[in-house]
Amino acid sequence: MVTESDMQHEAFEPVERLFREQISVQRLHPGASLAVWRAGRLVLDLYAGIADTQQGTPVERDTLFVLFSSTKPLASMAVLQLVERGRIGLDDPLAKCWPEFARNGKDAVTVRHILTHRGGFPETPPLTAWRWGDWPSVVAAMEEVTPRYAPGSVSAYHAINHGWVCAEIIHRVDGRPFPRYLREEITGPLRMDDTYAGLPDADLARRVARVHATEDAPDFWLGRTMNRLDVLQSITPAANGVSTARDMARFYGALLNGGTLEGESILQPETVALATAVEVDAELDPALGLEMRRGLGFNLGGMGGNNLRFGSRTSERTFGHGGAGTSICWADKDLDAAMVFIPNGFRGDETNVPRARSLSDAVRKACAALASA
């Protein structure tokens, strides 16, 4: 008799084979972590390779990987919690809770604008990385920045500013600093015990896989930046999260289940539906040079561009986010499945997109096969 476990193992065997080939044969990255959530539970949890080639440290089950921009949905969902609780409105100007932010033409910027990258100030201010841990300097920089575009007019990717603004919204409205809020309101309830946006303890750094440059990385400054302890300990919720694929799969599993996991709720189903509905539909993002479809804090499937990392063919009911040169996280409501892939090799789009897309395609094929069995 063929059991469900046997069928599952057979369906995901090509995924595991490709995952290991990318490390040992294709040598696309030294190490990686990959997890799949399907039908309410974790069905695949892979980790392999080398965490730090300088030290020869192997990837272990508890190895943490830098998420880069796959951190952003954690910050966005934290803000949406405050919206859900009536603490702030989606269309409230940020100046309502943060009066100083209105300087230099930002008085009309709303919470919705920030979550859809329509704030108008995509360029990161010239704060050197060693000042990212100086929160008063970060807040002052956000207050003084002048929009390049009229707020609300253009969806242009706010690579770093998105997280800084989300964190200060939370601090102004709730009173807690972002790392504490995240732990108490999202990662704690979901038992994501290995997820941080701002390492609380320097000793944890020994568990973080080093980000490695690859032969086609066009500019590795961000990778070098994220290898610094002071940056990993800073409040930079658009880029410096660290986690395991297994933990992030729990986050997306909760969202697939309407915001609830194992009896713990972080969002109401209506809020999840709002977050994953189309807000920006196939608009050219001048910061990325790509057409993008976006919800409130998520990229959405159903088109090309960077979202090809979700798979060759995706429905609009796919939502998620990727990290520069590395990670991809997505959930597909039609498949009732989610995939998280976090490598430690930083690559250019020419190889990073196909690397992630091939794994996404393999996972989608496996999930579809199980659904039709």
Q: What share of the chain in percent tops pLDDT 90?
A: 87
The confidence band for 1, taking pLDDT boundaries of 50, 70 and 90, is very low
Amino acid at 219: D
DSSP 127: -
Mean pLDDT on 186-197: 98
DSSP H or E segment with residue 226: helix 221-226
- Predicted local distance difference test score (pLDDT) of residue 132: 87
Contact by Cβ (8 Å): 160, 238: yes
115-119-125-129 Cα dihedral, nearest 10 degrees: 0
Query: Which pLDDT score is estimated for 3?
Result: 54
Do residues 359 and 343 touch, judged by C-beta distance below 8 A? no
Q: How much is the pTM?
A: 0.96
Confidence of residue 7 (pLDDT cuts 50, 70, 90): low
pLDDT of residue 168: 98
Question: Helix, strand, coil % (nearest 5) of the chain?
Answer: 40, 20, 40
Q: Beta strands 212-213 and 345-346: pairing type?
A: parallel
Q: What is the pLDDT of residue 372?
A: 86
User: Domain map of the chain by residue range?
Assistant: 4-68+193-270+297-372
What is the model's pLDDT at position 373? 75
State the chain's mean pLDDT as an integer.
94
Instruction: Pick the more confident residue, 126 or 279.
Output: 279
Is the CATH number of domain 4-68+193-270+297-372 2.40.50.140?
Answer: no
